Amino acid sequence: MVGIRPFRPGDEPALSRICLLTGDGGTDATGVLEDDDLWGEIFVLPYATRHPELAFVVEGNDGVPIGYVVGTPDTRAFEEWFRTEWWPQFAERWPEPSGDLQEGALTRQQGLLRYAYGRRPGGEPYGDEHPAHLHIDLLPEAQGQGWGRKLIATLTDALRAQGVERLHLVAGAGNTGALAFYTRLGFTPLPSHPGAQAFSLRL
Q: Which domains does the chain have, with CATH numbers?
A: 3-145 (3.40.630.30)
* Terminal alpha carbon distance of the chain: 28
What's the confidence (pLDDT) of residue 103?
65
The beta-strand segments (E) located in the chain are 3-6, 56-59, 65-72, 132-138, 166-172, 188-190, 196-202
What's the confidence (pLDDT) of residue 177?
85
Mean of pLDDT values over 69-88: 97
Q: What is the pLDDT of residues 33-73, one digit of tens each?
A: 999 999 999 999 999 999 999 999 999 988 899 999 999 99
For the purposes of burial, counting CB atoms within 10 Å of the CB of 5, is it exposed (0-12), middle (13-18) or buried (19 or more)? middle
Per-residue pLDDT for 99 more than 80? no
Q: How far is CA 161 from CA 22, 59, 103, 123, 155, in A?
A: 29, 24, 42, 27, 10
- Average pLDDT of the residues of the chain: 93
What single letter denotes the amino acid at residue 181? F
**45 or 105: whose pLDDT is higher?**
45
What's the confidence (pLDDT) of residue 187?
94
Could you write out the DSSP letters of every residue in 126-155? TTTTS-EEEEEEE-GGGTTSSHHHHHHHHH
Beta bridge mates, 58: 4, 67
What single letter denotes the amino acid at residue 77? A
Among 43, 72, 42, which Cα is nearest to 137's?
A: 43
DSSP 123: S
**42 or 98: whose pLDDT is higher?**
42
Q: What is the pLDDT of residues 172-191, one digit of tens each?
A: 888 888 889 999 999 999 99
Q: Categorize the per-residue pLDDT at 100 as very low, low, confident or very high, splitting at 50, 70 and 90.
A: low
Q: Categorize the per-residue pLDDT at 1 as very low, low, confident or very high, splitting at 50, 70 and 90.
A: low
Q: Among residues of the chain, what percentage have pLDDT more than 70?
A: 97
Torsions phi, psi of 34, nearest 5?
A: -70, -25
Torsions phi, psi of 112, nearest 5?
A: -70, -40
Per-residue pLDDT for 127 more than 80? yes
